[in-house]
Amino acid sequence: MLKLMKVSHLQRNATRLTSTHGCSTGPREPTILSYCDIPEPKSSMPLIGTSLDYTPLRGFQHIEFYSHLRKRHEELGEIYKENILPGLTSSTVFCCTPEDTKTLLRNETRFPFREPIGYILKLRNKFGLSSGITQVNGEQWYKMRKVVNQHFLSQKSVWHYTEKHYQIAEELADFIERSMDSNQEVPDFELALKRWSLEQAAIFILDARLGLFDEANKDSNDFIVNVGKVFQCMGDLQIGIPLWMLYETKLYKKYEEAWLNVFHHVKEYRRKAEERHQHKNSESQLQKFLRTSNLGTSEVDMVMNDFLTAGIDTTANSTIFPLYLLAINPEKQEKLREEILRYIQNEPLKGKTLNQLPYLRACLQETQRMFPFVALSSRKYEKDIVLSNYRVPAGVTIMNTSNIMNNMNSKYFDKPESFRPERWLEPEERNKARFAMSGSFGHGPRKCPGRLLALQEMNCLIAVLLSRFRIEYHHRPIEGKFRLLTIPSEKARYKFVKI
Ligand code: HEM
């Protein structure tokens, strides 16, 4: 039998709660409302929960999941709970107020618990692989995380690669010049960005170049296409009725096939990089940390796999948004270009200064407000927690929706519809926005380990592109849609005008 998930006391708690229709039977406290009182969708029915809402019968589309969440909050308020299919799933609490976000952050423990994703575990168990850093909790998680943190959370490590990252950004800019059509647009700019983000991640992780802008390199396309498929399948498997729990659905099989392909490619990339290192009697910094750790071979394999794949679609997709906002706000683009040119013409390139250019930083912060790269953040807590004056028992999954609920709210952001990076340079405005959003990279000790790397990649690319091109966009407005990450509703057809 497949062991889908390790049952921890957190999960046992959640099961106990949902077996009484999500309500604790304990005594009620006078001022704090009970879990039972948290509003639930009116469409929820005994036995089948809200599963029908996630079918075409009710017009559900995965890509519109953010609108679905906003409608739920509109209908039920700042906090609600929902169980899609009782028996198979447990209730999840959705909350979004700054006070609740603050409570969630303050209650982060040393080993924050993020619910493992069942279909990922199913696959990894089926093939006898390690669950990987993203899917384990507690001490087991910490054992892996503390090894990778040495490389990923060290500014020194990340800044050591600034020049190489800048060089790869220049290669993307050369590629843009070579590939522009008669409209000065790059036909498949998304694919070019994925090549760029993989090349950037590979140099940092393997200390090796993959040569992805080399015309002859066809192999990488297959890898990148399959990483894309994995993300797409995950987006679809994540939401709605989890039939994959009962049998291997067509969608699950598609996910498995793409994932195995990716795993195979990662092994090949590693093998080639290690061969080259052996030749030079060297190894990558991350490899050194992993070799000297007490992690087993299977864990090391999965760490390498997860890190090489986690940064491709995430960074490539997210980078579409600052470029879009700068393209449709030419005066802000000009202001940023001035800052960048002043810097690169007067100072030697350094990670510390490039990553701290104030207006560049503010532009990326403002982009994350308008298009949170990842909108949802989930946790389970070991203790009961009070959210919006309801007591949420330990072990219940809590989903923070603040990124998409508050980002356009004038209560927290003046003129929220306008792209105004300046707001992040004004202490009063920054203060007003505190805790309004949980952030694109998660929070606490489990926050994305790749964030310094991803931001450095973006900083280098924006600096290179703005110093070489004026970026324009002449198509339908881009909106943020859901596919696990926030993805653009339109193709990134930017016009690159050489300057
Ligand atoms: C713009 C790009 C990226 C975004 C928006 C992003 C976002 C996130 C978020 C929201 C989480 C969950 C954090 C939490 O639970 O608090 C996460 C986890 C993770 N990210 Fe990223 N990420 C990005 C790039 C990267 C890169 C470049 C890498 C590695 C090369 C990476 C590797 C990981 C890993 C391994 C985890 C799991 C960490 C753990 O469970 O301890 N990410 N990321």
User: How far apart are the CA of 58 and the centre of ligand 1, in A?
Assistant: 33
Q: What is the pLDDT of residue 12?
A: 43
Nearest CA to ligand 1 atom 35: 307
Mutate to test the pocket of ligand 1, among 284, 448, 455, 458 (most ligand atoms within 8 A of CB): 448
Q: Which residues of 83-115 are buried (b: 16+ CB within 10 A; e: fewer)?
A: bbbbeebbbbbbbbbbebbebbbebbeeebbbb
Ligand 1 closest atom vs CA 205? 30
End-to-end Cα spacing for the chain: 62
Q: What is the pLDDT of residue 281?
A: 85
**Rounded CA separation 344/321 (Å):** 23
The fold for domain 138-374+440-498 equals Cytochrome p450 (1.10.630)
Residue-range domain boundaries for the chain = 1-106+377-415, 138-374+440-498
Question: What is the pTM for the complete model shown?
Answer: 0.92
User: How far apart are the CA of 335 and the centre of ligand 1, in A?
Assistant: 30
Nearest CA to ligand 1 atom 37: 134
Q: What is the pLDDT of residue 8?
A: 44
Q: What is the distance, to the nearest Å, from the Cα of residue 417 to the centroid of all Cα atoms in its chain? A: 23
3 state DSSP class of 28: coil
Mutate to test the pocket of ligand 1, among 153, 441, 456, 457 (most ligand atoms within 8 A of CB): 441
Q: What is the pLDDT of residue 350?
A: 93
Beta-carbon count within 10 A of 491 CB: 15
290 contacts 147 by C-beta, under 8 angstroms: yes
Q: What is the pLDDT of residue 336?
A: 98
Ligand 1 closest atom vs CA 440? 5
Ligand 1 closest atom vs CA 134? 40
Q: What is the pLDDT of residue 263?
A: 94
Q: Exposed, middle or buried: residue 54 (CB in 10 Å: 0-12, 13-18, 19+)?
A: buried
The 8-class DSSP code of residue 495 comes to: E
Ligand 1 closest atom vs CA 453? 27
For ligand 1, residues with CB inside 6 Å are: 114, 133-134, 145, 201, 306-307, 310-311, 314-315, 318, 373-374, 377, 440-443, 446-450, 453-454
Ligand 1 closest atom vs CA 442? 16
- Transcribe 145-161 into DSSP letters: HHHHHHHHT-HHHHHHT
Q: What is the pLDDT of residue 129?
A: 95
User: How far apart are the CA of 448 and the centre of ligand 1, in A?
Assistant: 4
340 closest CA partner among 322, 354, 319? 354
Nearest CA to ligand 1 atom 1: 315
42 contacts 75 by C-beta, under 8 angstroms: yes
At 492, which amino acid appears? A
**Both tokens of residue 324?**
């879009």
- Transcribe 290-342 into DSSP letters: HHTSS--HHHHHHHHHHHHHHTHHHHHHHHHHHHHHHHH-HHHHHHHHHHHHH
**Rounded CA separation 499/47 (Å):** 63
Q: Can you tell me which residue has the tokens 């690319």?
A: 461
Nearest CA to ligand 1 atom 39: 134
User: How far apart are the CA of 356 and the centre of ligand 1, in A?
Assistant: 21
Ligand 1 closest atom vs CA 144? 41
Ligand 1 closest atom vs CA 457? 27
User: How far apart are the CA of 431 and the centre of ligand 1, in A?
Assistant: 26
Q: What is the pLDDT of residue 17?
A: 45
Taking the chain (499 residues) in consecutive chunks of 10 residues, what is each chunk's mean pLDDT? 37 43 56 96 93 92 94 98 92 98 96 94 95 95 96 96 97 95 95 95 93 76 90 87 93 96 92 88 90 92 93 95 98 98 92 95 98 97 97 97 98 97 96 95 95 98 98 98 94 97
